[in-house]
């Protein structure tokens, strides 16, 4: 399962059983750590999640900043709570790409805002799966 973690929401996506495609799930509205983790636990249990991919917000230069540091702290909390393998994945431009894709639809701005985090999670997961199935040649 992939997580696109923001300050107000967490977009979620899962793979098909064979691990070839990513599908968006709900977007969790963040409230507090306990509530957020309980919501994640429900989804992890429901979908039988065995590993997590978490978007790592990097600067355009590829350098880590304050948001990357916050995400690493969040991943530490996830590791302690769920004891699952967790992979950090460069999420640069996923929200931009998600917004671009959604703008091309005839969806209203309000509806787009509701699904952009899901689509960003789908893009994170799809990119991670493609890199895993087709690693770069040395």
Interatomic CA distance for residues 81 and 136, integer angstroms? 33
Residue 119's closest CA among 92, 97, 103? Answer: 97
Which sign does the torsion angle of CA 63, 66, 70, 73 carry? Answer: positive
Interatomic CA distance for residues 119 and 103, integer angstroms? 12
In the chain, domain spans: 2-133
Name residue, tokens 């509205």: 29
Burial class from Cβ neighbours inside 10 Å (0-12, 13-18, 19+) for residue 115 reads middle
From first to last of its 138 residues, the chain has per-residue pLDDT tens of 999 998 899 999 999 888 788 999 989 999 999 999 999 999 999 999 999 999 998 888 888 889 999 999 999 999 999 999 999 998 876 766 776 777 777 777 777 666 778 888 998 999 899 888 766 654
Question: Which architecture characterizes domain 2-133 according to CATH?
Answer: 2-Layer Sandwich (3.30)
Token pair, residue 90, equals 């460069």
Amino acid 136: pLDDT: 60
């Amino acid at each position: 399962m992939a997580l696109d973690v923001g300050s107000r929401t967490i977009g979620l996506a899962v793979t098909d059983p064979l691990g070839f495609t990513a599908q968006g799930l709900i977007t969790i509205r963040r409230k507090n750590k306990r509530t957020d983790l309980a919501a994640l636990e429900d989804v992890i249990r429901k979908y039988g999640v065995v590993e997590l991919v978490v978007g790592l917000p990097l600067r355009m230069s590829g350098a880590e900043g304050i948001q990357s540091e916050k995400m690493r702290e969040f991943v530490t909390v996830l590791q302690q709570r769920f004891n699952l393998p967790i992979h950090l994945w460069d999420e640069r431009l996923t929200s931009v790409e998600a917004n671009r894709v959604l703008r091309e639809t005839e969806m209203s701005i309000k509806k787009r805002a509701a699904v952009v985090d899901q689509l960003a999670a789908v893009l994170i997961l799809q990119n991670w799966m493609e890199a895993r199935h087709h690693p770069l040649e040395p």
